[in-house]
Structure 1
Amino acid sequence: MDRQIQELLDKTEIRELVNAYASAADRHDQERMRALYHEDAIDEHGPFSQGSAMEFVDRLPEIQAPMEILQHHITTVNLKLSGDRAEGEVYVLALHKVTGSGDMLVGGRYLDKYAKRDGVWKFLHRALVADWFYAVEPSEVNLGHPFVTGAHLGRPGADDPSYGFFTLFRRGER
């Protein structure tokens, strides 16, 4: 029974890691993103990264600069554990509103390897698989539409309404 409970706890921590990645990416929070990878981790992110995850995180301000809106929606999460290592196939739908390039919707998967070191699960290797891509040029996103009048509007970085709203979620943490 203890093994099953530990496996359940580990899987919960890994799911939280996966969700923290989506949130950090969407908020352009490089400090938080860096904390999700082991120092020796690898990230394969198409044209943006094919090596060191830390180098990928260092490049994120440049990569994300034209991205007015990012939304990563995590759907199916398949995990397999073996002690202090795990693998995951994580399905994602990611919307990108990019200045000058329109709206891009990517359907894909992350092929992940995780390692638990010093009691903490982090990414050891993350590879993006693009299963489909849909683009609309120019953008059709309309945040001025009456349907969203008066709603909080999301934005990259610490100006996002979530940073002022929450007291339990902290910048730079999972």
Structure 2
Amino acid sequence: MTTKTREQQLDELLDKQAIHELIMAYANAADRHDHAKMRALYHEDAIDDHGHFAKGPAMEFIDKLPAIQANMDILHHNVTTVNLRLDGDRAEGEVYILAFHKVKDGGAGYDVLIGGRYFDKYEKRAGVWKFSHRAIVADWAYPAHPSAVKLDHPFLAGAYIGRPGPDDPSYGFFSLFKFGAR
């Protein structure tokens, strides 16, 4: 058994932090429908497997996102458990998520809460960690039809209401977060 030096341990922590920030940036890009930011998270030759939505080159999946997200009133990805393994300039991760979807259907819409995981492969190229392969695994789904979301509930009175795109209140509040930027 070899013991890692303090410098090796620090390098590993920095790499894991960079990958963690990549994972969180993905959730933000998905929820804000920020396709430019999403593109910046994948290597050009990366693969994405989102089941029936898309399976193949990640850039082709991102090209399809405007149509996929067109009927989404709300997307809300929550990352929970993150298990990472590093091996030099490559890494793998199993990332647990709760993803809420409020879908327009011409009426009250419907909700789907999905519990699942991402199976990720990452590569560090030119000093930057990005996805090289991402696959989604659904463990369960909780649907509600009609939608149970009530944005006019008294608890929300006077609160900022999130929305997809650059009109989300976060872009007016923060000066360090920019739409389309990682």
Relative to the length of structure 1, the TM-score reads 0.99
| Equivalent position SS for 1:170 | coil
Choose the corresponding residue for 1:115, options 123, 142, 152: 123
How far residue 62 of structure 1 moved from its aligned partner, in angstroms, is 0.4
Verify: 1:69 aligned to 2:77, yes or no: no
Unaligned runs of 5+ residues in structure 1 are none
Percent of aligned positions with the same letter in both sequences? Answer: 67
Which aligned pairs between 1:1-174 and structure 2 lie closer than 5 A? 1-100=6-105, 101-174=109-182
- Number of equivalent positions: 174
- Quote how far apart the aligned CAs of 1:2 are: 1.1
What's the CA shift for 1:26? 0.2
TM-score (norm 2): 0.94
Q: Deviations over 1:97-122 (max 9, x none)?
A: 00015000000000000000010000
1-structure distance, mates of 2:21, 2:166: 21
Q: Which runs of 4+ in 1 moved over 4 A?
A: none
Instruction: Give the greater-gyration-radius structure (CA).
Output: 2
Deviation by residue 1:143-169 (Cα, 9 ceiling, x = unmatched): 011110100000000010001110011
After TM superposition, give the deviation of residue 90 of structure 1 in Å: 0.2
> How much is the aligned-residue C-alpha RMSD, in angstroms?
0.6
The answer for unaligned runs of 5 or more in structure 2 is 1-5
